[in-house]
Amino acid sequence: MTDGILLIDKPAGMTSFGVVARVRRVLSEQAGRKVKVGHTGTLDPFATGLLILCIGKETKNAMHYTKLDKVYEATIRLGQASTTGDPEGEITDVNSKQPTHEEAMTALQKFTGEITQRPPIFSAIKIGGRRAYDLARQGKEVEIPQRTVTIHSLELVEYTYPELKIRTHVSSGTYIRTLAQDIGEVLGTGAYCTQLRRTKVADWSVEDAQTLTVLGISS
């Protein structure tokens, strides 16, 4: 392939930029020339799932895909907090309060519809031309403005304390790590996202995506 889109099921432990670099190298080798490859919205290194890559001439349309709605499945750990909102941060105990199933359902209902979020400082958002996570890792103060996003649906899939599993359909720009932390704040337990999987982008599904292994790319 030298033009079009490629659906990838990203593995955990790899950055979206890492996936792009590996796919670019393989496609360029196959084509005998440098092939343009770009992603259409990052997935955190710990996350898995659907990553739409634009190839060749289609890279000029990358923003179209970036702005589409997405569906995620996530596991949220209650009772603890993480400096990054995920397993890669510094984990601290908050308390041992165990919310009831009804309390968990009530908390989730507070986050449906149009809500305000403050994206995490450990994110790929650019502040003054620099990635927020680069500034945060250097210990610099990072102030990211709040944004309005839409949670079209938020379903409680399973709840066995301390794990809360959800499925959510969200607008572009929604951070599930932030959603997890905000849910923990409402419940008074603290929380962070331990697992995250993107299953859909608009009508594209991870079920139709290829793994890097199938493409002959090592992780």
Q: Is 44 a catalytic residue?
A: yes
Q: Are residues 96 and 123 in the same domain?
A: yes
Q: Are residues 190 and 141 in the same domain?
A: yes
DSSP 131-157: EHHHHHHTT-------EEEEEEEEEEE
pLDDT at 14: 93
Could you tell me the two tokens for 39? 């992603």
The residue segments making up the domain with residue 102 are 70-201
Report d(CA 141, CA 59) in Å as an integer.
33
CB 53 within 8 A of CB 42: no
Among the listed residues 3, 9, 44, 208, the single catalytic one is 44
Q: What is the CATH number of the domain that holds 180?
A: 3.30.2350.10
Bond from prior residue into 45 cis (ω within 30 degrees of 0): no
pLDDT at residue 128, as a whole number:
57
| Average pLDDT per consecutive 10 residues, the chain (219 residues; last block may be shorter) | 90 94 93 93 93 96 95 98 91 96 97 89 56 54 79 98 98 94 96 98 97 81
Domains identified in the chain, total number: 2
19 and 81 fall within a common domain: no
User: Do 22 and 45 lie in a common domain?
Assistant: yes
